[in-house]
Amino acid sequence: MVERRPIFNLFCHAILVLGIISIALPVWIAIVATTHENSAFATGTPFWFGDLGFSVFSELLSNASKVNNTALPITGMLFNSLVMALCITIGKLTISIMSAYAVVFFRFPGRMIAFWMIFFTLMLPVEVRIMPTFEVITNLNMLNSFYGLTIPLIASATATFLFRQFFLTVPHELVEAARIDGAGPIKFFVDILLPLSRTNIAALFVITFIYGWNQYLWPLLITTDIEYYTIVMGIKQMLGVVDGVIEWNKIMATTIIAMLPPVIVVIAMQKAFVKGLVDSEK
Amino acid sequence: MSTLTLSNIAKCYPNGYQAIQKLNLEINDGELVVLVGPSGCGKSTLLRMIAGLEEISSGELNIDSTKVNDLEPGERDIAMVFQNYALYPHMTVYNNMAYGLRNRKTPKQEIERLVNEAAKMLELDHLLDRKPKQLSGGQRQRVAMGRAIVRQPKVFLFDEPLSNLDAKLRVQMRLEIKKLQRRLGTTSVYVTHDQVEAMTLADKLVVLNQGNVEQVGTPLDLYDFPASMFVATFIGSPSMNILDGEVTAEGLKLGNTLYPLPTEALNLGSIHIGLRPEHLCISQDNPWLEVKVELIEALGADLLLYCTTQDASEQKLVVRVDGHSKIDIGDCLGVDIKPQHIHLFDCKTQKRVEWNIDAFQEVSNA
């Protein structure tokens, strides 16, 4: 649809500007807040930079264990979040690409049953089955461990389903050509299917990494030991000061730091995305 | 150097559909055999069974004297060229050709030598670093052939390899395939639905119909002596005219016109008469048939006249004449044919009916 009227253009731009403001304003406030003394928040929310520069960040990182006098080391929490997100991402991708390979390229009894059972778990995200899952993890003695943090979140129907849809578009002749070229199932998977799935892997990596990074409810439930706190739940803990002043500038700085890894992943993978989209030919 | 023997090969799908019925075929060393037939006749299924991509329900398949029924495609020492090329999109031309050799643990220098040799032969040497999507259709086709050649297999299998190319390129590639096959001397099986391709390429032509072999022979054999009406109409373009006629004591009767012919050897009664458009000629003096031109297709070199016979039966007939003949729609023409060009087919079995041409010629010469 091509509209050439200036009023319509104005309208489109207005909508876009509104969208940008609603998304960017909170981020802007968070960035601005890191440059103010904590006392500045008593009188309202500042909208322009204060005079502290990066000192809040440096203080936060050098004196890592002191936010609101709660002993939460930021670097430790970042590390926990990173390990959790990466384990979930890599685990998910590995398991789902292999199960999709089995479901699409092999004929075995119970193939469709297996597929539909995987598919049904789409309707049962962690939040729905949280009590039984917690019970299982407790019985397996996985509380306060990375196993408990990651394993229940690894099982995923979404990724399996997406890989299956992609594999179905791989031309059958390619499989046959590989068979004639003497490539067995594993060789075909490694030499041909994996390189072809590059784009999909990149896309799912971004999605699952952010999913893993943003986990809040499950880590909150499974960890009581401060050693295993993730950054997302850490931020919440910082707000829970019984008596004393909430250090908004430090909390905002922590939020900004917590935002960075997903942003980096998106930017890094975007290149692979675009390249994959341009290259995508089967 | 190898032969391929199919004995009693059959393919039955789980739903009971019989795609190939008890088929016997002997393919000699270095021969290019073309399997041809309309779509759904089982030609591709047969090729895929030879390749090992499709299971053989019963019968025995031998390459040289080894039974290969239960071998994986990779173990049969065959190479296949697919209709849509099936090149690995993420690999360069070089890697596409080298992949099969690498899987067979060929030494690196040997791979390099073989690939470069094949690339030179196919004029691909300047494209070895390209990806398939950077190539034109004809070049992709050549890479697909290169991938087959480097392996130096016992048998080449071609599955309609030219049908994705435009008409001009198809003719060119057809010649190249023929030249290449001659040069390498590798036993080849080629599947196509295009009868021109089949005629030009084949050493031996196999016409398939509904999973059965209709006829096996050289292209000219099939053109001159089609064993059945199916082969007769399938081979040759435009296809043979089949008219309903009758055998009488005096000769062949078509409507109310008579073609005098010794018919002692034939059963009296109705019969199908096959006349090739290119064998019919326009004749002024005492022609066999009177026809009326209803439609003209000008092909440049030839004119195709779509006619109706001017007798009681009013049958359709195509006549091919010189491209510059002065003929208009609605003209009435006399059409004749030499006796040796008349094909007769039984009405019930649709098989060829042999009749003695020599005897006829003796009679007419006397």
DSSP line for chain A: -----HHHHHHHHHHHHHHHHHHHHHHHHHHHHTTS-GGGGGS----S--S-TTHHHHHHHHTTT-BTTB---HHHHHHHHHHHHHHHHHHHHHHHHHHHHHHHH---TTHHHHHHHHHHGGG--TTTTHHHHHHHHHHTT-TTSHHHHHHHHH--HHHHHHHHHHHHHS-HHHHHHHHHTT--HHHHIIIIIHHHTHHHHHHHHHHHHHHHHT--HHHHHH--SGGG--HHHHHHHHH--SSS---HHHHHHHHHHHHHHHHHHHHHHHHHHHHHHHH---
Among A131-135, B29-33, B261-265, which stretch is predicted with the lowest mean pLDDT? B261-265
Q: Please state the domain extents for chain B.
A: 4-230, 238-365
Q: Assign B262 to helix, strand or coil.
A: coil
What's the mean pLDDT in B295-310?
Answer: 90
**Residue A146 and residue A99 share a domain:** yes
Q: What is the pLDDT of residue A178?
A: 92
Residues of chain A found within 8 Å of residue B78, distances taken between Cβ atoms: 180
> Lowest-confidence range among A122-136, A225-239, B120-134, B149-163?
A225-239
The mean pLDDT of chain A is 84
Alpha carbon distance B171, B149 (integer Å): 21
Task: Identify the CATH number of the domain in which residue A97 sits.
Answer: 1.10.3720.10
> Considering only alpha carbons, which residue of chain B is nearest residue A280?
B89
Q: Nearest CA of chain A to the CA of B68: how many Å?
A: 14
B80 touches chain A (CB under 8 A): yes
| Per-residue pLDDT at A280 exceeds 60 | no
Mean pLDDT across B231-244: 90
Cβ distance B90 to B130 under 8 Å? no
Q: Which two tokens stand for residue B117?
A: 């040799």
Per-residue model confidence as pLDDT tens digits over B331-365: 888 888 888 888 999 988 889 988 766 655 555 55
- pLDDT at position B98: 93
- Token readout for B104 is 């067979």
Report CB contact under 8 Å: A179, B73: yes
Tell me the fold of B4-230.
Answer: Rossmann fold (3.40.50)
Pick the residue from chain A with its C-alpha nearest to B76.
A180
Higher model confidence: residue A74 or residue B240? B240
Q: What mean pLDDT do residues B295-314 have? A: 87
Question: Do A21 and A87 reside in the same domain of the chain?
Answer: no
* Residues of chain B with C-beta less than 8 angstroms from the C-beta of A180: 51-53, 73-74, 78-80, 100
Strands ordered across the beta sheet of B332-336: B281-282, B332-336, B289-298, B302-309, B316-322
Q: How are beta strands B78-81 and B4-12 bridged, if at all?
A: unpaired
pLDDT value, residue B362:
56
Kindly tell me if the per-residue pLDDT of B366 is higher than 90. Answer: no
Q: The complex's ipTM?
A: 0.81
B104 touching A (Cβ < 8 Å): yes
Q: Containing domain of residue A34, as a range?
A: 6-62
pLDDT of residue A99: 92
CB pairs under 8 A between A and B: 63
pLDDT of residue B359: 58
Cβ of residue A174 closer than 8 Å to a chain B Cβ: yes
Please report residues of A whose CB lies closer than 8 A to that of B80: 176-177, 180
Number of domains making up chain A: 2
pTM: 0.79
- A 10 A CB-CB count for A176 gives 20
* Cβ atoms of B111 and B151 closer than 8 Å: no
- pLDDT for residue B358: 63
CB-based burial of residue B136 (10 Å sphere; 0-12 exposed, 13-18 middle, 19+ buried)?
exposed
In this complex, is the C-beta atom of B136 within 8 Å of any C-beta atom belonging to chain A?
A: no
Measured CA to CA, the distance from residue B188 to residue A36 in angstroms comes to 81
Query: What pLDDT shows up at residue B144?
Result: 92
Alpha carbon of B35: minimum distance to chain A alpha carbons (Å): 20
For residue A205, give how far its alpha carbon lies from the nearest alpha carbon of chain B (Å): 20
Residue A97 has pLDDT above 90, yes or no: yes
Among chain A residues, the shortest Cα distance to B159 is held by A173
Whether residues A143 and A176 fall in one domain = yes
Q: How confident is the model at residue B121 (pLDDT cuts 50, 70, 90)?
A: confident
Q: Is the pLDDT of residue B310 over 90?
A: no
Mean pLDDT of A242-263: 82
Using one digit for the tens of pLDDT, what is the confidence trace for B250-259?
888 887 788 8
Read off the pLDDT of residues A143-163 as tens digits, 9 standing for 90 and up.
888 888 888 888 778 888 888
Residues of A in contact with B72 (CB under 8 A): 179
Distances (CA, A) of B110 to A183, B103, B107, B129: 19, 13, 5, 19
Chain B residue numbers touching A184 (CB-CB < 8 A)? 74
The predicted pLDDT at position A189 comes to: 94
Percent of chain B with pLDDT over 90: 39
Gyration radius (Cα) of chain B, Å: 25
CA distance B14 to A171: 23
Calculate helix-pair angle for A248-279, A74-105, nearest 10 degrees. Answer: 30
Q: Does B72 touch chain A (CB under 8 A)?
A: yes
Neighbouring CB atoms inside 10 A of B6's CB total: 21
Q: Are residues A267 and A167 in the same domain?
A: yes
**Residue A189 distance to chain B (closest CA, Å):** 13
Q: Is the pLDDT of residue B71 over 50?
A: yes
Q: Residue B1: what pLDDT? A: 64
Same-domain pairing of A90 and A58: no
Determine the CATH number of domain B238-365.
2.40.50.140
| Residue A84 tokens, joined | 């959790």
With a cut of 80, say whether residue B202 has pLDDT above it: yes
Q: Do residue A265 and residue A163 come from a single domain? A: yes
Give percent of chain B with pLDDT exceeding 70: 96
Query: Is A1 inside a domain boundary?
Result: no
In a domain? residue A107: yes
Which of B99, B150, B157 to mutate to test binding with chain A, by most A CBs within 10 Å of its CB?
A: B99
Distance separating alpha carbons of residues A155 and A153, to the nearest angstrom: 6
pLDDT reading at A205 higher than 60:
yes
Answer yes or no: is pLDDT of A89 > 80. Answer: yes
What is the SS3 string spanning B63-97? ECCEECCCCCHHHCCEEEECCCCCCCCCCCHHHHH
Contact between B217 and B31 (Cβ < 8 Å): no
Say if B4-230 and B238-365 have the same CATH topology: no
Tokens encoding B291: 């026809």
Chain A environment of B100 (Cβ under 8 Å): 180-182
The answer to whether residues B92 and B100 touch, using CB atoms and an 8 Å cutoff, is: no
| pLDDT tens by residue, B13-61 | 888 888 888 889 999 999 999 999 888 888 999 999 999 998 899 999 9
Cβ of B82 within 8 Å of Cβ of A177? The answer is yes
Q: What is the pLDDT of residue A242?
A: 65
- From chain B, the residues in CB contact with A182 under 8 A are 74-75, 100, 103-104
Summarize pLDDT for A23-82 with one digit per residue, the tens.
999 888 888 888 887 777 777 777 787 777 777 777 777 765 555 445 667 888 888 899
* Pairwise CA distance, residues A230 & A219, whole Å: 7
A28 and A136 share a domain?
no
Q: Are residues A187 and A260 in the same domain?
A: yes
Distance CA(A163)–CA(A204), nearest Å, equals 9
At A279 the pLDDT is: 53
**Mean pLDDT over residues B85-89, rounded?**
91
Within-domain flag for A69: no
Instruction: Supply the pLDDT for residue A243.
Output: 66
Compute the distance between CA of residue B243 and CA of residue B234 in angstroms, rounded to an integer: 16
